[in-house]
Amino acid sequence: MGRTGVCCCCAALRPRYKRLVDNIFPEDPKDGLVKADMEKLTFYAVSAPEKLDRIGAYLAERLSRDVVRHRYGYVLIAMEALDQLLMACHSQSIKPFVESFLQMVAKLLESGEPKLQVLGTNSFVKFANIEEDTPSYHRRYDFFVSRFSAMCHSCHSDPETRTEIRIAGIRGIQGVVRKTVNDELRATIWEPQHMDKIVPSLLFNMQKIEDIDSRIGPPSSPTGGEKEENPAVLAENCFRELLGRATYGNMNNAVRPVFAHLDHHKLWDPNEFAVSCFKIIMYSIQAQYSHHVIQETLGHLDARKRDSPRVRAGIIQVLLEAVAIAAKGSIGPTVLEVFNTLLKHLRLSVDFELGERRSSTGSASFSTSSKESDERIVQNAIIQTIGFFGSNLPDYQRSEIMMFVMGKVPVLGTSSHSLDTSHLGDLGTRRIQIMLLRSLLMVTSGYNAKTIAAALPAPFLDPLLSPSLMEDSELRQLVLEILHNLIDRHDNRAKLRGIRIIPDVSDLKIKRDKISRQDVSFMKKHGQQLYRHIYLGCKEDDNVQKNFELLFTSLALITIELANEEVVIDLIRLAIALQDTIIINEDNLPMFNRCGVMALVAAYLNFLSQMIAVPAFCQHVSKVIETRTVEASYFLPENIFKDKCILPKSLEKHEKNLFFLTNKIAESLGGSGYSVERLSVPYVPQVTDEDRLSRRKSIVDTVSIQVDILPGNNTEDKINNTEEITFEALKKAIDNTGLEEQEKEKRRLVIEKFQKAPFEEIAAQCETKANFLHDRLAQILELTIRPPPSPSGTMTITAGHAHYQSVPVYEMKFPDLF
């Protein structure tokens, strides 16, 4: 009897390949494979490759019988023999042999014995590393994908055995991936039914990573021992390898199961594992496919828009991490799609927040307040994503995004914006405005255009400055900070932080370049617009210290970046106009605001005088500041913004030496070659329609002419009252058209002219019109009898839609009237 249990006579009649196979098995399986007989079998297989399929079939038959009989020693010997034959034979006839081999591996994987499962996995991995000469068009690995995925989820009672089985399952999946990717029919592995098993199996084991942050970067190269002992590390490397082999057509199939896994296991809150997964994805895939991941994330955010705020915030945080990596490479056509989707969810979040607030009216519910705070988390995450994405774009794309976001900011009183907030009310609209401006602030951070016209084009500047006139200090602060980002091209803003009297500006080491022609042209076109918004911003009664600090920084940055001789004169006129406005106080500002504007003017003129370095100008400014330090410290920023600053009851009794005087400034600048003629012309803000948009009372709505008549002893004897002055009489005398349409057209033309015409032309035309009005009024008053003087000594004449300030008669210089 031989080792196979067959008599010698019968054994001699058996086919040779069977005899050679039988001879490799020893009497005692503990002795292992008979190497001498194995060499004979290998030589025979190489010499007669047509026998390979029969050798494989016979080995499979023996292995199946030994598995059923639990003779695991012979099973190990059979698999070792199969492995050696696979490695030795590379012929066309190996295909049928491979089928027998895969049947034996499947038999081992189906057994419930962990050792046999590991044995079958090891053999499959060896087979996966063999490069076949010709592709196999009929071979499929569906069973192996399913079986290896199941092994990845092993729940064996023994921890060591469980870990061993999971490692075997991961290595088997890795082998399937390598084998199919190298195969001509590799597309089959990327089918959804396979990816839905492979990806969750890998993620399930990756969740066991204890130190996530150590593997969130580009692919690492762990040691061999670490790979073998840690299922999490092995799963992560397999996941990286899988994603690295993904192409354009199958990228989405590899990413979608990740979202399903995170949803099923509720891993969006907290989202540390989700963030680490997507960092791995973004670093592993080819850069040109990054936009696929972003698109899938946006789609999943849309699908989960009704979920809890923390889940949505977790998804948005993942999107932020993906965008942060993708922005450094190829983003593709998803730029506007990202912003559109995020802005849509921003509006939804505000809607949810206001809905919770309305539903909780009258009840102090802790859960409701918690939901509102959660919605704030969502909104902040959206703002961070918008800002970070925009700030990482190239300049040419960033300017388009700035325009896009600015176009979404709702403006009260208009319906031109494309972000629908009609159902949110004033409170919701304000929230949207603040958050969009915060996003825009982040987008503009670090933006450095070569010319200011490129940073602030007219289609962007006009809507940006509109919120700066709104009666909301936070909105005005955001607009000023955005302007700082765009105007400050030499990073001087940090040196100017905080409003103060700077003793020596040279210590700040201000960086500046010579103003370019393009910037000069910009200031000629839009300078008055900037001055107007600073002027009106200073007169807001809800200004706080931060508003004054930002206004000071705005004036200083304009001086550094955009000021030539003409702009310097305009800025001085603006500062003096602010001082005069505070003294007169037509707007009835609180005393704190009046003193704050005085301090702002002092800090700015101190800065400006040192920047242009005119000694006489510096001397005048320093003298005023020294006088204020002694007599009126509340006019200086170091004192007025203290918590316990004592404010004056009135500003009417202050001496001239506490104020900056136009004649002194003109004299000092004129001696240094400056053209100071325009300093004698008081600054008046430009007339626009923006007040209507910002819910202010427009200065062109109701206009009156006030003529202050100084009462004299002999005026009644010189003027006889023959006709009563009425509104209708003066209206007919000044406005002969009487047609409303002509008035509207004329008003539009005047506004357009004040926006675009040079200052010199406007001044000349105003002087001509003033002379005409002077002559006309003189003629009217000569034909009339003066009415009884009013107690105030003033006469108010309302005429259409033009506004003229009260002017004393002796300043109007009417000839021979009094």
Residues paired with residue 808 on neighbouring β-strands, in sequence order = 708
Mean of the pLDDT values across residues 28-51? 82
CB contact at 8 A, 660 and 624: yes
Identify the pLDDT of residue 664.
93
Tell which wins on pLDDT, 763 or 158. 158
Identify the pLDDT of residue 719.
31
Which SS3 state, helix, strand or coil, does residue 497 take?
A: coil
Residues 6+ apart with CB under 8 A from 549: 497, 498, 499
Separation CA 38–CA 33 (nearest Å):
7
DSSP secondary structure letter of residue 798:
E
Structure tokens at 540: 């807001």
> Which long-range contacts (C-beta less than 8 Å, at least 24 apart) are formed by 724-727?
724/787, 725/784, 725/787, 725/795, 725/797, 727/797, 727/798
Identify the pLDDT of residue 782.
55
pLDDT in tens, 302-358: 999 989 999 999 999 999 888 888 766 555 556 778 888 888 898 888 888 887 776
The confidence band for 161, taking pLDDT boundaries of 50, 70 and 90, is: very high
Helices 192-206 and 231-244 pack at an angle, to 10 degrees, of 140
Residues 6+ apart with CB under 8 A from 55: 17, 20, 21, 41, 45, 85, 97
Mean of the pLDDT values across residues 525-530? 93
Task: Count CA atoms closer than 13 A to 272's CA, side-chain side.
Answer: 10
For residue 773, pLDDT over 90 is answered with no
The confidence band for 92, taking pLDDT boundaries of 50, 70 and 90, is: low
For residue 134, pLDDT over 70 is answered with no
pLDDT in tens, 443-465: 898 888 888 999 999 889 988 88
Separation CA 546–CA 560 (nearest Å):
21
Tell which wins on pLDDT, 90 or 694. 90
The confidence band for 483, taking pLDDT boundaries of 50, 70 and 90, is: very high
Instruction: Return the percentage of the chain with pLDDT > 90, whole number.
Output: 36
Tell which wins on pLDDT, 526 or 216. 526
Identify the pLDDT of residue 48.
79
Mean of the pLDDT values across residues 639-648? 86
Identify the pLDDT of residue 368.
55
Identify the pLDDT of residue 138.
66
CB contact at 8 A, 334 and 294: yes
Which SS3 state, helix, strand or coil, does residue 535 take?
A: helix
For residue 701, pLDDT over 80 is answered with no
Separation CA 65–CA 680 (nearest Å):
112
Mean of the pLDDT values across residues 611-625? 95
Pick the closest to residue 784 from 726, 705, 717, 722 (CA basis). Answer: 722
Place of tokens 């006009």: 462
Burial class for 784, CB neighbours closer than 10 Å (0-12, 13-18, 19+): middle
Identify the pLDDT of residue 723.
42
Tell which wins on pLDDT, 48 or 778. 48
Pick the closest to residue 97 from 130, 137, 56 (CA basis). Answer: 56
Instruction: Report, in angstroms and rounded to the nearest whole number, the Rg of the chain calculated over CA atoms.
Output: 42
Identify the pLDDT of residue 533.
92
pLDDT in tens, 466-482: 776 777 889 999 999 99
Tell which wins on pLDDT, 783 or 338. 338
Identify the pLDDT of residue 596.
95
pLDDT in tens, 583-610: 988 889 999 999 999 999 999 999 999 9
For residue 648, pLDDT over 60 is answered with yes
For residue 727, pLDDT over 80 is answered with no
For residue 797, pLDDT over 50 is answered with no
pLDDT in tens, 399-408: 888 888 888 8
For residue 59, pLDDT over 60 is answered with yes
Identify the pLDDT of residue 290.
86
Helices vs. strands in the chain: H and E counts, helices first: 36, 3
Structure tokens at 19: 């005899």
The confidence band for 503, taking pLDDT boundaries of 50, 70 and 90, is: very high
For residue 750, pLDDT over 60 is answered with yes
Tell which wins on pLDDT, 629 or 771. 629
Tell which wins on pLDDT, 545 or 790. 545
Structure tokens at 280: 């791995």
Pick the closest to residue 386 from 317, 434, 443, 330 (CA basis). Answer: 443
Identify the pLDDT of residue 2.
46
The confidence band for 612, taking pLDDT boundaries of 50, 70 and 90, is: very high
The confidence band for 184, taking pLDDT boundaries of 50, 70 and 90, is: low
Identify the pLDDT of residue 88.
77
Phi, psi of 222 (to 5 degrees): -65, 160
Identify the pLDDT of residue 219.
47
Mean of the pLDDT values across residues 556-567? 94
Listing DSSP states for 719-775 in one string gives: ----S---HHHHHHHH-----HHHHHHHHHHHHHHHHHS-HHHHHHHHHHHHHHHHH
Place of tokens 């940090």: 494
Task: Count CA atoms closer than 13 A to 315's CA, side-chain side.
Answer: 28
Return mean pLDDT, the chain.
79
Identify the pLDDT of residue 717.
38
Identify the pLDDT of residue 671.
87
Identify the pLDDT of residue 356.
72
Mean of the pLDDT values across residues 116-136? 81
For residue 520, pLDDT over 70 is answered with yes
Identify the pLDDT of residue 716.
36
Residues paired with residue 794 on neighbouring β-strands, in sequence order = 708
Tell which wins on pLDDT, 394 or 602. 602
pTM of the model: 0.71
The confidence band for 685, taking pLDDT boundaries of 50, 70 and 90, is: confident
**100-114, 159-173, 665-679, 716-730: least confidently modelled range:** 716-730
Place of tokens 């919701």: 428
Place of tokens 């936070």: 474
Tell which wins on pLDDT, 196 or 779. 196
For residue 699, pLDDT over 80 is answered with no
Residue ranges with strand state E in 462-609: none
For residue 205, pLDDT over 70 is answered with yes
Identify the pLDDT of residue 407.
86
CB contact at 8 A, 700 and 747: yes
The confidence band for 808, taking pLDDT boundaries of 50, 70 and 90, is: very low
| Cα torsion 328, 330, 335, 338: sign | negative
Structure tokens at 616: 């006489």
Mean of the pLDDT values across residues 496-521? 92
